[in-house]
Amino acid sequence: MKFLSKVVQPFIKCMHCVLSVGPMPSHIGFIMDGNRRYATKNKLKQVAGHEAGYSALLSMVTYCYEMGIKYVTAYAFSIMDLMTEKFELLCRKDSFFNGYGIRVHISRNLQLLPQHSRDTANKLMASTVNNSGLLLTICMAYTSTDEINHAVEKCCQEKWVKNDGGIISLADIEKRMYMKIAPDPDIIIRTSGESRLSNFLLWQTAGSYLYSTSALCPEIGIWHLVWAVFNFQRYQLFQKKKNKHLK
């Protein structure tokens, strides 16, 4: 990955200079879909498809790091598609994260995982906790409905313990969300040509720009990221003109 960074770094810096003329996103979310289809398409074993997908994800994290993006959130797999071997693939990359000074946070319901996987997740977070670079949030054993349900339950439990009959505010709920660690995403990039969010950050994406590419997860590259940011900037300009016109 270091070699890849050195090869594309000048290009990324050039693109960053061009894009920085417009508003730059601080937070990009990725719905990485299509590993199995990639494996079938290329007559590979499924594990090879997953490995290629996670290599692509790490490349995208590298590109975001080089472009100065502060937050990246990856929807690797949901509660409905829980495979612990996928998680193990990602957690073996702790040397990569530390090499770039990337802090890793697992936004999750880890109680759904086996103890070994919970230990692996906690070890990965602990090994990167002091890093001050980009914050990578991995949505593991996650759905947005579970996150919202968890936050509301926490609010109700705390109100009951305190014998507080007051109302539950939006701020109360947001403070108890798994994703309270990062601001709302500016862009959501989805692979495989899908345009749905698939229960990913439903609470946080009301104002996000959704960019969908037909590329499968292992096929995603720097141009997809550049094009997503460029279209986000066009969208921001349109919204600014629209709001000005309404005033």
Q: Answer yes or no: are the C-beta atoms of 31 and 75 closer than 8 Å.
A: yes
**Nearest by Cα to 49 from 221, 193, 216:** 216
How large is the C-alpha radius of gyration of the chain?
19
Q: Residues with catalytic annotation?
A: 33
Q: Tokens 């862009």, residue?
A: 187
Cβ of 197: how many Cβ atoms within 10 Å?
17
Exposure string over 15-53, b if 16+ CB within 10 A, otherwise e? bbeebeeeebbebbbbbbbbbeebbeeeebeeeebbbbb
